[in-house]
């Protein structure tokens, strides 16, 4: 089905250097690349920044585990060369909880989407935050269910057009960062897929911390949401994110609501607390009480 | 405190089940309180911290099921316990467990159903749900104890089955068995036979996590062991990578079913009482088998040739056992606390000239032996 | 949102003095490119442009703007991070690293 074009090999002489592999390939299931994501989709940047963060921290890749749910970004687990689990829709967090509690030496990260984590998985994520469970959750927020063709999600702004809100969305979105901050997360940040340097730094920061860590990453969905909401191409959306994302570290999460996809919005690290994690509390209580 | 509390105890079925799991090497329990299974979670939450296990109470049964799958992939034997309403929620991820070939154990203490039903009273109406409840073609193993001693013993068996066949195993208990107290003998640790999952022997670079051995079951690496496995609920190839083709789907689903189906004779556990010369065979499982035993004894005293076949493993259904009896007996009596579930399986396996009498109860109480005797009368006609 | 004024440090204001910029090498895995043009649009040095050739999937991969002097790759690696396809990366030339 896929069309193949004749390659102008002279081009290769004119341009740069041709390579067969990428430095990230060591942490990538490169036999599965190219991935399924659309041209310009922001999911790829989440993977590339995650890999860079793991590399720079020199974490043993054998001890990294990725869990994802269902959706476009749900496929992330299938592209990262760590122990990776692609679970059912919405259930990545409880699966990751089992993995982490049973084997605490693992660095367990959940990489999933706004629909997966906050609609069908909404109950799981608030409870993981409440427990201050020792997992990192990276949420690719593209305002929509991309994999099923662009329906509205709990992150879709009001009035937006999707395939199931053809006249405009009547529902208000969650403020994801505020929801998790109030549920008890130790670390809450928001970046976009164009802020790759800061996103990578944030992932690094989060990987060195304990407890429930949450990074929301706004990603363009040019094929689904963007197309129906005058957001243009992925380049247009990315430029918009670059121009309108205002860094506001430590902002009150109540003020970082994403009301309108076409106005200024706050990015940055909003919450960064040192508080006892689930595993620390478990250790403290059981070492005190259980000595019979 | 030692894990295996060797000795003679007076335990409820729920407590015995918790001890059985501990003796089987289970060290991770995720659950959600639900009558009449809660005592299992309570006992485990007290016992696990003493022996290095992890108890976690999740936000619901969906999460509990996922967490025990995660723990199993971390290389730790895991379980949960619930009742019908919770089991309904777990089925989504029991399907995931089947697809990911994850050994784990789910105890379903059945109560009067449907819906919230009679939470504090007995039922046996989740039999078909245990077999067909998750979507898609699959095979599972379900085992049903009828006394606290068996709750202990069969939890160990359930873990062994799950580890051997890499499948979630359901222990179909019922409220009567879970709350009755009886003598339970816990053997010495070294006398307990445990089966642990096969581990891969090849190097991580060469490892294919879903390439089955000759026994149709692939060895299982755990997260953190360097194999960098990919595990998905999607149809997958030997590498574990998603492949969306009929060519990949067909052999995978067939293997998931056949690894159980082809071993049905090895898996099957039954108890037979005076069946050699029986004209009428009473078929029962769980708590009902106790009423049925009394009924059969009464019938024998009357000189009637009646026997009892107790199903211990209900799934995979022991077709071969029923088919063999169908050649010998006139009729079957199926006594169960539901409105017809095992009945259909027996009808499927019976010959057309066998009478298959049904003694249903919809839940809330056990059969009296007299009710089963009425069924015996009908089957003997 | 957007109440606080943004602080900008104009690149032109930084006194470069005699310092030489690092020289980067760009590597391209041509068949991975899906032509999203993110690397082209967001290269801080604007050294890339869309080429006219096709790769096997039918996309136009980037090529270098052939302007000597100012518009040179400095090997910052931004394209590597922003490429969703793992199709491009940079390295700093070894002798230039020393000079830094």
The verdict on residue C3 lying in a domain is: no
The conformation of residue A28, written as its DSSP 8-state character, comes to B
Interface size, chain A vs chain C, as Cβ–Cβ contacts under 8 Å: 133
Q: Whole-angstrom Cα distance, residue A136 to residue A109?
A: 5
What ipTM is given for this predicted complex? 0.97
Domain coverage including residue C91? 22-99
Per-residue pLDDT reduced to its tens digit, B197-256: 999 999 999 999 999 999 999 999 999 999 999 999 999 999 999 999 999 999 999 999
Is B75 touching A (CB cutoff 8 A)?
yes
CATH number at residue C71: 3.30.70.20
* pLDDT score at C6: 38
* pLDDT score at B273: 98
Give residues 116 to 135 of A whose Cβ lies within 8 Å of B.
123-124, 127
Mean pLDDT of A243-262: 94
Per-residue pLDDT reduced to its tens digit, A173-190: 999 999 999 999 999 999
| Average pLDDT over all residues of chain A | 93
High-pLDDT (> 70) share of chain A, %: 93
**Which of B228, B240, B243, B244 to probe by mutation at the A interface, max A CB count within 10 Å?**
B228
The verdict on residue C46 lying in a domain is: yes
Q: Which of B15, B1, B312 is nearest to B184 (CA)?
A: B15
- pLDDT at B75 > cutoff 50: yes
Note whether B7-191 and B269-380 share their fold. Answer: yes
Please tell me the total count of domains within chain C: 1
Comparing CB atoms, the residue among A81, A86, A124 nearest residue B231 is A86
The verdict on residue C71 lying in a domain is: yes
Give residues 45 to 74 of B whose Cβ lies within 8 Å of A.
49-50, 54, 56, 58-60, 62-74
**Residues of chain C positioned with their CB less than 8 A from the CB of A263:** 1
The verdict on residue C8 lying in a domain is: no
For residue B38, what are the contacts with CB-CB under 8 A and spacing of at least 6? B14
Per-residue pLDDT reduced to its tens digit, A9-41: 555 444 478 899 999 999 999 999 999 999 999
- The dihedral region occupied by B70, where left means phi > 0, alpha psi between -120 and 50, and beta the remainder, is alpha
The tokens for A104 are 């605490």
The CATH number of the structural domain formed by B269-380 is 3.40.50.920
Determine whether the interchain pair C30/A18 forms a contact, defined as Cβ–Cβ distance below 8 Å. Answer: yes
Is A265 touching C (CB cutoff 8 A)?
yes
Determine whether the interchain pair A28/C57 forms a contact, defined as Cβ–Cβ distance below 8 Å. Answer: no
- pLDDT at B376 > cutoff 60: yes
What CATH superfamily classification does B7-191 receive? Thiamin diphosphate (ThDP)-binding fold, Pyr/PP domains (3.40.50.970)
Per-residue pLDDT reduced to its tens digit, B291-308: 999 999 999 999 999 999
Determine whether the interchain pair A78/B232 forms a contact, defined as Cβ–Cβ distance below 8 Å. Answer: yes
Q: Comparing C68 with A135, which gets the higher pLDDT?
A: A135
Written in H, E and C, the secondary structure of A133-201 is CCCEEEEEECCEECCCCCEECCCCCCCCCECCECCCCCCCCCCHHHHHHHHCCCEEEEEECCCHHHHHH
Per-residue pLDDT reduced to its tens digit, A36-78: 999 999 999 999 999 999 999 999 999 999 999 999 999 999 9
Do B and A touch (≥3 CB pairs < 8 Å)? yes
Mean pLDDT of B143-153: 98
- pLDDT at C15 > cutoff 60: no
Per-residue pLDDT reduced to its tens digit, A147-181: 999 999 999 999 999 999 999 999 999 999 999 99
Do C and B touch (≥3 CB pairs < 8 Å)? no
Q: Comparing A261 with B162, which gets the higher pLDDT?
A: B162
Per-residue pLDDT reduced to its tens digit, B35-70: 999 999 999 999 999 999 999 999 999 999 999 999
Query: Into which CATH architecture does domain A23-289 fall?
Result: 3-Layer(aba) Sandwich (3.40)
Q: Whole-angstrom Cα distance, residue C38 to residue B272?
A: 72
Per-residue pLDDT reduced to its tens digit, C41-88: 999 988 899 988 899 999 999 988 876 555 678 889 999 999 999 999
The verdict on residue C2 lying in a domain is: no
User: What are the boundaries of each domain within chain B?
Assistant: 7-191, 269-380
**CA–CA min distance B222, chain A (Å):** 8
| Average pLDDT over all residues of chain B | 97
Mean pLDDT of A195-215: 98
User: What are the boundaries of each domain within chain A?
Assistant: 23-289
Chains within contact range of chain C (3+ C-beta pairs < 8 Å): A
Burial class (CB in 10 A: 0-12, 13-18, 19+), C91: middle
**CA–CA min distance A8, chain B (Å):** 32
Give residues 108 to 147 of A whose Cβ lies within 8 Å of C.
none
* pLDDT score at C14: 44
Is A30 touching B (CB cutoff 8 A)?
no
Mean pLDDT of B337-344: 98
Is A11 touching C (CB cutoff 8 A)?
yes
* pLDDT score at C100: 46
* pLDDT score at A18: 87
* pLDDT score at C24: 83
- pLDDT at A191 > cutoff 70: yes
* pLDDT score at B381: 81
Q: Comparing C92 with A49, which gets the higher pLDDT?
A: A49
**C63, C54 in Cβ contact below 8 A?**
no
């Amino acid at each position: 089905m896929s069309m193949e074009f004749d390659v102008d090999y002279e081009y290769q002489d004119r341009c740069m250097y041709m390579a067969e592999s990428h430095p990230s390939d060591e942490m990538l299931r490169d036999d599965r690349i190219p991935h399924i994501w659309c041209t310009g989709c922001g999911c790829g940047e989440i993977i590339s920044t995650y890999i860079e963060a793991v590399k720079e921290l020199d974490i043993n890749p054998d001890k990294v585990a990725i869990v994802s749910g269902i959706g476009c970004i749900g496929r992330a687990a299938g592209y990262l060369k760590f122990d990776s689990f692609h679970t059912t829709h919405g259930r990545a967090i409880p699966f990751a909880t089992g993995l982490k509690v049973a084997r605490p030496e693992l660095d367990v990260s959940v990489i999933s989407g706004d629909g997966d984590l906050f609609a069908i998985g909404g109950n799981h994520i608030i409870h993981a935050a409440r427990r201050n469970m020792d997992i990192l959750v990276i949420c690719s927020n593209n305002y929509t269910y991309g994999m099923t063709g662009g329906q509205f999600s709990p992150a879709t702004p009001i009035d937006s057009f999707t395939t199931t809100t053809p006249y405009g969305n009547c529902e208000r979105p969650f403020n994801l960062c505020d929801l998790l901050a109030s549920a008890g997360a130790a670390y809450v940040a928001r970046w976009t897929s164009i802020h790759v340097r800061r996103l990578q730094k944030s992932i690094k920061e989060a990987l060195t911390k304990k407890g429930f860590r949450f990074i929301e990453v706004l990603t363009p969905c040019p094929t689904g949401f963007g197309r129906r909401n005058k957001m243009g191409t992925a380049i247009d959306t990315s430029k918009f994110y670059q121009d309108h994302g205002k860094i506001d570290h430590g902002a009150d999460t109540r003020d970082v609501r994403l009301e309108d996809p076409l106005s200024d919005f706050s990015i940055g690290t909003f919450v960064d607390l040192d508080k006892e994690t689930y595993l620390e509390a478990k250790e403290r209580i059981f070492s005190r009480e259980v000595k019979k | 405190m030692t894990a295996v509390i060797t000795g003679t105890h007076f335990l409820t079925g729920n407590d015995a089940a918790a001890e059985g799991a501990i003796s089987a090497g289970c060290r991770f329990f995720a659950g959600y309180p639900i009558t009449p299974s809660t005592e299992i979670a309570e006992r485990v939450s007290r016992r696990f911290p003493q022996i290095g296990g992890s108890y976690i109470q999740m936000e619901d049964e969906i999460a509990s099921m996922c967490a025990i799958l995660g723990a199993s992939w971390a290389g730790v034997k895991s379980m949960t316990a619930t009742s019908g309403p919770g089991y309904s929620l777990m089925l989504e991820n029991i399907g995931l467990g089947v697809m990911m070939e994850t050994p784990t154990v789910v105890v379903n203490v059945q109560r009067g159903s449907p819906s919230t039903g009679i939470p504090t009273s007995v039922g046996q109406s989740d039999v078909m749900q245990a077999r067909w409840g998750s979507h898609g073609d699959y095979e599972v193993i379900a085992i049903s104890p009828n006394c606290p001693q068996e709750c202990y013993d069969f939890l160990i068996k359930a873990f062994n089955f799950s580890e051997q066949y890499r499948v979630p195993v359901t222990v179909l208990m019922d409220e009567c068995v879970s709350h009755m107290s009886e003598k339970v003998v816990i053997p010495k640790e070294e006398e307990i036979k445990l089966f642990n999952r096969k581990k891969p022997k090849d190097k991580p670079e060469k490892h294919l996590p879903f390439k089955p051995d000759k026994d149709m079951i692939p060895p299982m690496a755990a997260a953190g062991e360097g194999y960098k496995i990919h595990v998905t609920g999607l149809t997958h190839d030997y590498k574990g990578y998603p492949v969306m083709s009929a060519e990949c789907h067909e052999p995978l689903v067939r293997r998931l079913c056949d690894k159980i189906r082809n071993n049905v004779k090895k898996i099957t556990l039954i108890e037979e009482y005076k069946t050699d010369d029986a004209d009428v065979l009473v078929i029962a499982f769980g708590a009902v088998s106790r009423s049925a035993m009394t009924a059969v004894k009464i019938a024998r005293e009357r000189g009637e040739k009646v026997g009892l076949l107790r199903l211990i493993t209900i799934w995979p259904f022991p077709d071969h056992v029923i088919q063999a009896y169908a050649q010998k007996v006139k009729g079957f009596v199926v006594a169960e606390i539901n409105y017809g579930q095992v009945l259909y399986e027996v009808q499927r396996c019976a010959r057309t000239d066998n009478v298959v009498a049904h003694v249903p109860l919809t839940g809330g109480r056990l059969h009296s032996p007299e009710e089963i005797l009425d069924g015996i009368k009908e089957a003997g006609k | 949102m957007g109440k606080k004024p943004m602080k900008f440090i104009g690149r032109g204001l930084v006194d470069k003095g005699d310092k030489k910029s690092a020289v980067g090498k760009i590597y391209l895995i041509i068949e991975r490119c899906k032509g999203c043009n993110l690397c082209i649009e967001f290269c801080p040095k604007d050294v890339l442009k869309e080429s006219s050739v096709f790769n096997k999937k039918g996309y136009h991969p980037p090529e270098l703007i052939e302007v000597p002097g100012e518009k040179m790759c400095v090997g910052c690696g931004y394209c590597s991070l922003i490429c969703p396809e793992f199709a491009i990366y940079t390295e700093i030339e070894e002798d230039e690293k020393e000079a830094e």
